[in-house]
Amino acid sequence: MAERSFAKEVQELKIGKGEEFRGEGILAVTKALLQSGVSYVGGYQGAPISHLMDVLSDAEEILEELGVHFEASANEGAAAAMLAASVNYPLRGAVTWKSTVGTNVASDALASVASSGVMGGSLIVVGEDYGEGSSIMQERSHAFAMKSQIWLLDPRPNLESIVEMVEKGFELSEASNTPVMLEMRIRACHVYGSFMAKDNVAPVFKLRDAMENPTRDYGRVVLPPSNFVHEIEKIDRRWPAAVEYIKSQQLNEFLGGTRGDVGIIVQGGMYNTLIRALELAGLSDSFGNTDIPLYCLNVTYPLIEDEVKGFCLDKKAVLMVEEGQPEYLEHNINSILRNADIQTKVVGKEVLPRAGEYTGQVLLEGVRAFMETYSSPRVKDDTDILISALTSEESNSLNENVPLRPVGFCTGCPERPVFSAMKLVQKELGDIHVSCDIGCHLFSILPPFDIGNTTMGYGLGWSGASAFNTESDKRTISIMGDGGFWHNGLVSGVGNAVFNKNDNILVIIDNGYSSATGGQDLLSSRADNKTKSTKHKIEKAIRGLGVKWVRRVHTYRIATMMDTLRDALTTSEKGPKVIIAQAECMLNKQRREKPIRNKLIKEGKRIVRERFGVDPDTCTGDHSCIRLSGCPSLTIKDNPDPLREDPVAHVNNDCVGCGVCGEVSHAAVLCPSFYRADIVYNPSVWDHLSSRMRSGIIHVLQNRRRKKRSQLAFGD
């Protein structure tokens, strides 16, 4: 179950030539793949490209009608290895994943397919996840393209350009026998627009044709001496063929004015933001009409030397808008110009930041600094510009008065009680080294838990603590999600620990889905999936590798979780120890149950929903529930007792009834103030009668208590 269904939208993929296609960038990519006669598609989910995988999954019936094979790959390396089908056969194939972490995993296969070369067009769609909007370390895909000599496309973020670059990407790949990488930023994935569609094309040469007529070419195998020939091919044949195709098809664009002593070179994906900055500076309108010459690099690798020299030859200076570092394009352009004895000044990181996302504000300031130094066109004064940078005083004031909002677990998340239990156990046994992993559980490093020392990559939680496999009075704890387990952790984590007789502990968060990437199904998902094989138990896989100490615990049972952690940390039994913490992802559970519940309520059916609350008369204001849980539905409100100043805890309407707040307080033996309430929709006659009886009894008891209080107060 993904967080969003595209079942309705994918029907638009069937439209043909002359019809207008409207939708998001990821839908445009899918339509372009079908129009290109692709034979197979594979990939691994990960923001910002997760929804492309969801679109492909929802469109499987359409893909099958065209004879296109779709594979939800086990990881990025498995996806990249699919491109091997295009090495010996004229099969067009596309794979997708999030960069750069995904490209790290895929780099072995990518290096091999780039060395072999391809006969069929091979396209790699990477989610370029860079800057403050990203979810992982700050690196770019450009380095991988340069390292393996894979041509890199960076289309302008509008649907027409994206579709054209997908289609031209296959042609470029076939013209140069080289895989092509196309990067899609978050905004490009979800930009909304339209383009004129073409007919979908079934592959002329099918996968079955290749299987029934296998071809073997030793020269395409990455093995000496063939691999030495591949290196020469890359430079002597593939590179020139790519350059010739890019030039002849005019994949890069010359936009804006044609005269002037300055110009701007921009990555295709940064074009929209640049135009916005130019508009705010009074140098363009919102449609991109500007007198400043622009050279838009829809292909950022390789650069076309003739185009670079021709654009720069008559200019005093050019601004290079290149997001991220190192400044590969700036260095390359400087090299091209200096070797040609062209003295045009290339300005990049001296007016634009070396790191961080290039937002409209950042580019506005960079454009202003560049134009004021190197050009005469007037840039609007600060008073004319819609946005301006904060002063240092304003920035300091903002930091002092607006609290930080770190990411955190969802309301009712089944992972929260695991870390509450760990925190309580650490209070008993002392601090423990915790090796984290990629996934929602990484939020445990933030308040209120503050648990976790390092994270090394998806599925590498236990490997991240493997150096600590030594004699000690303490054991380490490693964390791994079920997504990371099937991605990489089964072998590099569990298998590695078994082989090396590791005596430490692994906690696997088994919530039933690849939750952090949108709730996609896994091998161990308990849900039925008509196109995938599910319900494969993690415990069975672990025991199959030789782990003997295995415990399964329901995550919401905090006391049991504490006992299990304590046992794992103190047992005299040697060898790897695995705790499988099981409970369904609450976000997916709510997506699944809410529509059903709302439908039944609307139909007049009796529905009971659990809610939890805090008795303000009993609450002491200790707030242990908040400190040890951190649930977003927990807040504070004024104390009803006029003699007490501390605010009391309060559960707001976001509560989903998981009960963790009360569980953690009781497990810590701290608070008896939590209560459970049943909310009844469409109550029966008996419900109404029971409610009146309870209210009557409570009223009698309250009157008795009130009378006793007045007697004590007045001494009667």
Q: What is the pLDDT of residues 499-553, one digit of tens each?
A: 999 999 999 999 998 887 778 888 888 888 888 889 999 999 999 999 999 999 9
Rounded to an integer, the average pLDDT of 231-251 is: 96
- The reported pLDDT for the residue numbered 383 is 41
Domain finish residue from 248, 281, 304: 248
Please give the structure tokens belonging to residue 285: 């309108």
Structure tokens at 673: 């103030």
* Domain match, 126 and 22 both: yes
Q: In terms of domains, do 578 and 612 share one?
A: no
Q: Are 371 and 379 in contact (CB under 8 A)?
A: yes
Domain presence at residue 629: yes
Residues 555 and 428 in one domain: yes
At residue 714 the predicted structure's pLDDT band, cuts being 50, 70 and 90, is: low
Give a yes or no: residue 393 inside a domain. Answer: no
Concatenated DSSP letters of 265-307? EEEGGGHHHHHHHHHHTTSS-TT---SSEEEEESEEES--HHH
Q: Is the pLDDT of residue 385 over 50?
A: no
Q: For residue range 261-283, what is the model confidence (pLDDT) as tens digits?
A: 999 999 999 999 999 999 999 99
Asked whether residue 184 carries a pLDDT value surpassing 80, the answer given is: yes
**CATH number, domain containing residue 430:** 3.40.50.970
- The C-alpha atoms of residue 78 and residue 482 are separated, in whole angstroms, by 18
For residue 377, name the pLDDT band (cuts at 50, 70, 90).
Answer: low
Q: What CATH number is associated with residue 683?
A: 3.30.70
With respect to residue 407, please indicate whether it lies within any of the assigned structural domains: no
Q: What value does the mean pLDDT take over residues 614-621?
A: 84
Whether 120 and 233 share a structural domain = yes
Give the tokens for residue 292.
């400043």
**Would you say residue 575 has pLDDT above 80?**
yes
Residues 574 and 612 in one domain: no
Same domain, 102 and 133: yes
Last residue of a domain, one of 248, 277, 309: 248
- For residues 227-258, one letter each, b for 16 or more C-beta atoms within 10 angstroms of the residue's C-beta and e for the rest, the string is eeebeebbeeebbebbbebbeeeebbbebbee
Residue 58 maps to a domain: yes
Instruction: Say if 706 falls within a structural domain.
Output: no
Q: Within a domain: residue 358?
A: yes
User: Averaged over 637-651, what is the pLDDT?
Assistant: 86
- What's the number of domains the chain is made of? 4
Domain contains 714: no
Mean pLDDT of the chain: 90
Residues 264 and 314 in one domain: yes
Task: Identify whether 288 is part of a domain.
Answer: yes
542, 578 Cβ separation under 8 angstroms: yes
Backbone angles phi, psi at 254, to 5 degrees: -105, 110
pLDDT for res 292: 94
Do 564 and 692 belong together in one domain?
Answer: no
Amino acid at 430: G
DSSP string, 124-157: EEEEE--STT-SS----SHHHHHHHT-EEE---S
Grouping H, G, I as helix, E, B as strand and the rest as coil, residue 540 is helix
DSSP characters over 614-648 = E-TTT--S--HHHHHH--TTEEEE--S-TT--SPE
Using CA atoms, how far apart are residues 634 and 411, in angstroms rounded to an integer? 9
Residues 124 and 152 grouped into a single domain:
yes
The model's pLDDT over 392-404, given as tens digits with 9 standing for 90+, comes to 787 778 778 877 7
Q: Does 193 share its domain with 317?
A: no
- E strand or H helix at 195: strand 192-196
Give me the domain span that covers residue 638. Answer: 605-700
- Provide the Cα torsion 239, 243, 245, 248; round to 10°: -160
- State pLDDT tens for residues 652-698: 888 888 878 767 666 665 577 888 888 899 999 998 998 899 889 98
- Strand spans (E) along 500-542: 505-510
| Beta pairing class for 40-43 and 93-99 | parallel
Q: 478 and 566, same structural domain?
A: yes
Residues in the chain: 716
Of all residues in the chain, the percent with pLDDT exceeding 70 is 94
Q: In this structure, what CATH number is given to the domain that contains residue 339?
A: 3.40.50.920
Check whether residue 480 and residue 616 sit in a common domain: no
The Cα 234–Cα 118 span in angstroms is 12
pLDDT tens-place string over residues 189-232: 999 999 999 999 999 999 999 999 999 888 888 888 888 999 99
∠ CA 113-118-121, rounded to 5°: 115
pTM of the model: 0.88
CA distance 548 to 542: 9
Q: What integer pLDDT is reported at residue 384 of this predicted model?
A: 46
Q: What is the DSSP string of 376-415?
A: -SPPPPGGGSS--PPPHHHHHHHHHHS------PPTT-TT
Q: Which of residues 223, 248, 273 is at a domain's end?
A: 248
